[in-house]
Amino acid sequence: MRTLAEFERRFATEGACRDYLARLRWPNGFCCPQCMTSGSWSTTRSLLMCRQCGYQASVTAGTIFHRTRIPLQDWFRAIWWMTDQTQRLTASGLQRLLGLGSYRTAWLWLQKLQRAMVRPGLDRLEGQIEVDETYIDGVTTRESSRYQESKALVAIAAQVDRKGIGRIRLRRIPAASASPLIAFVKYVVEPSSVVITDGWEAYAGLKQAGFKHRPRMISPTEKAATTLLPRVQRVALLLKRWLMGTHQGTLSGEQLDSYLDEFTFLFNRRTSRYRGKLFHRLVAQAVAIESSPFPRLVADS
């Protein structure tokens, strides 16, 4: 599946979309949770009915597709467009492509999709990870006072892939203090991974939190911190450049969050060549049951 025509043939009906979701949810075939037999009928809508006992299981329960009035075909089309590496799917683009009535509906829907595509709690980085924070200008958050220059703090984790960058995670945090930084690392990095940071004392608790911590100090011979953590520095630079090209004017904290999700999504898939595979992976992520939310303490502290 590489072209739009192939895609449209593959998902020509709601039933074809439902079957695709059912196979993702029950890779070994449907098994009734009530009587443990395997035969089922597809009913109308998104239900499977057990042939033995009549139990009805929803194909979409617990997924972003649940209780939506939007046809699955439109969800699938939107996800297909999101896999386009050459063009960024915008809310107005989505509105036009699906003939949606309002821009706001398209915008909310795109946000929901983007959030579903980045599931850090389900899929943590492992191996060697560089972690640092950076300031993003022009963001009005609850923390920034009226007289301050508005900016937001973003934590960055970048996986070491030989000399390059593997996958990344980004998250807006309220302060560069120990509790949000450690919570961020716990949320996005697998325990017992190697976490590389600068010498900032807020990271001192990483060892106790179960990570192999490698703080790097600037020696007098080094010119700048960029040589300490080259990957996160590079990600910060690309992020800022991308934000400038994507958005003009001031952002709210919530808008920045969805931009961070989108950037992460695009960045982590920058080398994927097969669109069909990418699509499969995205739908699989959308089907995965919701993970626990980012710890409240970070949002509140």
* Contact set with Zn ion (CB under 5 A): 32, 34-35, 50, 52-53, 55
Q: Which one, 52 or 144, has the nearer CB to Zn ion?
A: 52
Q: Which one, 57 or 195, has the nearer CB to Zn ion?
A: 57
Q: Which one, 50 or 229, has the nearer CB to Zn ion?
A: 50
Work out how close the CB of 34 gets to Zn ion at its nearest, in angstroms, rounded to a whole number: 5
Work out how close the CB of 57 gets to Zn ion at its nearest, in angstroms, rounded to a whole number: 9
Sign of CA dihedral 81, 275, 63, 48: positive
Torsion angles phi and psi, residue 113, rounded to 5: -65, -45
Torsion angles phi and psi, residue 172, rounded to 5: -75, 130
Question: Three-state DSSP class for 191?
Answer: coil
Work out how close the CB of 26 gets to Zn ion at its nearest, in angstroms, rounded to a whole number: 13
Return the closest-CA partner of residue 179 out of 151, 198, 155. 155
Q: Which one, 16 or 47, has the nearer CB to Zn ion?
A: 47
In this structure, what token pair is assigned to residue 11?
Answer: 């998902």
Work out how close the CB of 72 gets to Zn ion at its nearest, in angstroms, rounded to a whole number: 24
Return the closest-CA partner of residue 171 out of 151, 190, 185, 191. 185
Q: Which one, 36 or 108, has the nearer CB to Zn ion?
A: 36
Work out how close the CB of 30 gets to Zn ion at its nearest, in angstroms, rounded to a whole number: 10
Return the closest-CA partner of residue 265 out of 59, 95, 81, 51. 81
